[in-house]
Amino acid sequence: MTTPRIHIVTLGVGDLPRARRFYEALGWRASSTSNEAIVFLKGAGGVLALYGRAALAEDALAEDLPTGFAAVTLARNAHSREEVDAWFATAVAAGAHAMKPPQEVFWGGYSGYVADPDGHLWEFAFNPYFVFDEQGNLALPD
């Protein structure tokens, strides 16, 4: 059996050009394989794809339900509290809605939440118990 991985996370978006601009403002870079229907954004260790919300629902044979909290968040882990603050400020300046400003949290770390222009929640967090490998990937113990 192979090692479990997530290669691509696809977000359904209402306005593809707006979503692309937002994520590029956060440092993601679009691949040349992107087109007017889908954008593939390159990141370390995986790909974030942006696809029209209605088209994504149709492709998955799913009902396109109204937005709201979908019990899913995406997260980016920082090396410091200051890095969390910087990411949060960059995201808000690029059009994110501040949901929860960065703050000390019950589990001993520091985190805050933003919603991208389509309402997808991102947590920016510093966890003093996490370490990163040489490539910058989160290195969880066995």
CB 75 within 8 A of CB 118: no
Angle at CA of residue 34, ends 30 and 40, nearest 5°: 55
Q: Is residue 100 part of a domain?
A: yes
57 and 79 fall within a common domain: no
The domain total for the chain is 2
The per-residue pLDDT for 139 is 85
CATH of the domain at 26: 3.10.180.10
Q: Is residue 33 part of a domain?
A: yes
The residue whose two tokens read 């919300």 is 53
47 and 75 fall within a common domain: no
Does the pLDDT value for residue 114 go beyond 90? yes
The per-residue pLDDT for 3 is 77
Q: Is residue 128 part of a domain?
A: yes
Q: Tens of pLDDT along 84-110?
A: 999 999 999 999 999 999 999 999 999
Does the pLDDT value for residue 74 go beyond 80? yes
